[in-house]
Amino acid sequence: MYLILLIAIGLLGWLVQWNLNSKFKKYSQIPLGNGMTGREVAEQMLRENGITDVTVRSTNGTLTDHYNPANRTINLSEGVYASDSIAAASVAAHETGHAIQHAYAYAPLKMRSALVPVMSFSGQWVTWIILGAMILLGTGSQLGFPVAIAGIALYGIITLFSFITLPVEINASQRALAWLSSAGITNSHNDSYARDALRSAAYTYVVAALGALANLLYYIWLFFGRRD
């Protein structure tokens, strides 16, 4: 049952990622209308929100856009930074939404940032610890279950991080869409495109959270099922 669930979520994740890439490609071909690039959209949104200590930079790759709170930079991918498309404006405004969250100490973002070091440690070691637990349990060692519990705890942190990420991303998109409309960057003709683009991106985080939860439940069932 759990295996079927994991396969289903994996397939759903593939479909959602394919949909995101398809939508990004589609809306990257539709000009914004006012000629503003992703960089200009981000810079104007920062100014209008009174933020002067954040820099907008270009970064390599596709859909590698992110806000870095450590050095206060909005990093826009090559297809966003210099593009004047609907997709570029939407992504740039979304990442700027994260900068605004940081400036105003948005609680879920603070929680996620606080979890980053623990998340990094968990992501680095959880696979090895769970594998070690399986080997120990397979040999009948009494250390198997304590190690399994440690692995489940680490994966629990990963799952928690995934779910805390949801309100952070959704709120950033809400801020982006509200500002794009109020600033006149989008209009009645292309606002729905921006919403569709950011909604497609949000689905990837939903699927990631569900996948993490499914994996966590599977490990709990696997180890505690063995114990029974």
The residue from 40, 43, 95, 169 that is catalytic is 95
Average pLDDT, the chain: 92
Whether 95 is catalytic: yes
Q: What is the pLDDT of residue 17?
A: 86
How would residue 40 be classed by pLDDT, with cut points 50, 70 and 90? very high
pLDDT at 228 over 50: no
What distance in Å separates the CA atoms of residue 53 and residue 209, rounded to the nearest whole number? Answer: 32
pLDDT of residue 45: 97
Residue 32 has pLDDT above 50, yes or no: yes
Global confidence as pTM:
0.87
- SS3 label, residue 37: coil
Quick one: pLDDT at residue 13?
84
Contact yes or no for 65/93 (Cβ under 8 A): no
**Per-residue pLDDT tens over the stretch 95-151:** 999 999 999 999 999 999 999 999 999 999 999 999 999 999 889 888 989 999 999
CA distances from 43 to 5, 70, 101, 182, 193 (A): 43, 19, 16, 16, 21
